[in-house]
Structure 1
Amino acid sequence: MAIQGPIPVSFDQVFPHGCYVVGEVEQVKDFDASSKGRTVYAKDKNTGELVWQVAVMDADPTVKAGQKTVSVKILSPVQPVVPAALPGLPFVPVEFDGMTATAYVNQNTGRLAWSIRATAMRPPRTAATPAKTSAGKDIAA
């Protein structure tokens, strides 16, 4: 099989309606390497980067309520910072760069699930302004 390891995906493929931070950024513990009184934090097997996670709510109105909140793992040597809140919004909108998806079987349900990873978290890009043609007419960017 040609697919090996995580599958590169774009933010728009995973969250076409956007997503919002609904939790704190936390460092992921390596439960296999940790022992009583000694916590070991997870590192990515391929890059050696520390692994952090943040809960986000998918803004897709068609997603079932029980599936709206997902955890995105971020590979970074330092704790990622949640973007500044926007006035009038109860949650912080966010986008991720360098995203990958890895399929696995959920042990509790026996169903296919996805582990989502990213290399960076940032504020959403604003809507692109239309580009101008040489005649001065707007075209889609």
Structure 2
Amino acid sequence: MIRGPIPVHHQFVFPHGAFLSGEVTPVLDFDASTKDRPVQQRDKTTGEPVWSVAVTNVSPDVRAADKTVSVKIVAAVAPEMPPVPPAMASLGLPFVPVEFVDLTVTPYVNSANNRMAYSFRARGFRPLAVARTQEASRG
């Protein structure tokens, strides 16, 4: 029986590439936070802080409404300091092409519309070479 997050390869979820399209931000723990004191969520298994980033999936098979997803990053970094993406300007692109490390997916039923949805989580991300990204988007 499968329980918990399911490990998946980056190319399975993002066959034509994944592009960071937002800043890496802390995920708030709504149960522990108060109005005056926000508390960052911690991973239940590792205790490490949890971050979130908007990601654009450029696969032509993905519906327009599903092009942007959120990926949670569990990262052992200094407190109050998010994982840092590669510089966008140095790549000459408006978005940062990345590959997620130790990506998992957790399917669930979205109670708002009773449809299957997916939650993505990774241990981190690494930059992709521009040539490799361009090659993937053509293929």
Identify the TM-score tier after normalising by the shorter chain. Answer: 0.7 to 0.9
Helix, strand or coil: the match of 1:12? helix
Looking at both structures, which has the greater relative contact order when contacts are Cα pairs under 8 Å and sequence separation is at least 6?
2
Structure 2: give runs of 5+ residues left out of the alignment: 133-139
Q: How does 1:44-55 map to 2 (within 5 A)?
A: 44-55=43-54
Q: Corresponding residue for 1:81?
A: 84
Q: Corresponding residue for 2:118?
A: 114
Q: How does 1:27-106 map to 2 (within 5 A)?
A: 27-78=26-77, 79-85=82-88, 86-87=91-92, 89-106=93-110
Deviations 1:7-36 (A, max 9, x none): 011101110110111110000001111122
Which one of the candidate residues 124, 128, 132 is aligned to 1:124?
A: 128
Runs of 4+ more than 4 Å apart: none
- Aligned identity (percent) is 55
Distance 2:26 2:16 in 1: 27
Q: Corresponding residue for 2:6?
A: 7
Helix, strand or coil: the match of 2:39? coil
Q: Is the 8 A contact 1:105 1:111 kept in 2?
A: yes
Helix, strand or coil: the match of 1:46? coil
Displacement of 1:101: 0.6
Distance 1:106 1:66 in 2: 15
Counterpart of 1:48, as a letter, is G
Displacement of 1:90: 2.2
Q: Corresponding residue for 2:136?
A: none
Structure with bigger helix share is 2
Deviations 1:89-141 (A, max 9, x none): 221111110111111111211111111000011102564xxxxxxxxxxxxxx
Q: RMSD value over aligned CA atoms?
A: 1.3
Q: Corresponding residue for 2:17?
A: 18
Counterpart of 2:85, as a letter, is V
Q: Which has the larger radius of gyration?
A: 1
